[in-house]
Amino acid sequence: MLRQVARIRPTFRDSTELTRPIRPLRLSKGTTGLSVVCLPALVAAASVQQYSRFATACGGRYEVSAIPLPGFAPGDSLPADQDALVRVIAETVAGRAADGPVVLAGSSTGGILAYAVAALMEEAGARPAGVMMFDSYGVDSEFVRTAGGELMVGLHKRNEKYTEVSSAGLSAMAWCVDLFQGWEPPRITAPTLQVRATEPLSEALHGTDWQSNWDVAATVVDVPGNHFTMLENHIESTVTAVHDWLSATFGWASGAAGGVQIA
């Protein structure tokens, strides 16, 4: 039903056909000169607010912003194909990168979108400084097929205060998930971090190969918590992993929070 609804909605092929411009929402300021741009998951119950705790926990080290996905709000057009979605976001990120190095980040399916954006930016000669994927899975992975219901319920409980799940969001979810069916990440040169949960989302997943795994990730770090709590109750451990990786990648002293400029 959602796919049928999506098929009758208008579509865009480039930024000139968007019904509203894409503008990043700044969640926190930073002192290191590095910007972290976060992308929401490709689900109706997700929103830019899912990164508010992450932005706060970064403690002013980096400017953290999030980009609302086109197609998920009432009145939006849907991307005509995967390239259209990735391209308009890449153009937005490239505009931000003109002011300094940008690291793309995404939780869950937001991570595969962040990686796809980075790959397109590299093709265009505008390589981002890095990519971070927080417990990201392919849309057709066994984990998503097994835990999909719990993922949706968990996201709704966490975002219902900030986001109203509309018919536009639901049909956009069905549409965008289909766009990434069978997607295989290409190799990119930008440094890539995969942060994985160490606890399964439900008891039913015990004994299964539930952890996310991307061969393209140069660095893999396991942190406490499950798919959701690694960015909630255990956010400090997750941000420590992020900061340690960024410190090693950009060569500043771990623990330095202010006055550090990135070359």
Q: What is the pLDDT of residue 163?
A: 63
- pLDDT (0 to 100) of residue 195: 97
Least confident of 2-11, 137-146, 208-217: 137-146
Token output for 142: 């066994």
For all residues of the chain together, what is the average pLDDT? 87
- Quick check: is 256 in a domain? no
Q: Quote the domain boundaries for residue 94.
A: 2-248
Number of domains in the chain: 1
DSSP label of 74:
T
In a domain, 94, yes or no: yes
Tell me how far apart the alpha carbons of residues 12 and 85 are, in angstroms, rounded to a whole number.
Answer: 9
Asked if the structure places residue 258 within a domain, the reply is no
Any domain includes 25: yes
CA angle 228, 230, 235 (to 5 degrees): 125
At 261 the pLDDT is 35
Q: How confident is the model at residue 188 (pLDDT cuts 50, 70, 90)?
A: very high
82 is a domain residue: yes
The answer as to whether 236 is a domain residue is: yes
What pLDDT was estimated at residue 56? 96
Handedness of CA 89, 92, 95, 99 (dihedral sign): negative
Residue 261 lies in a domain: no
Query: Which residue bears the tokens 């399916």?
Result: 109
Is 260 among the domain residues? no
CATH code of the domain containing 140: 3.40.50.1820
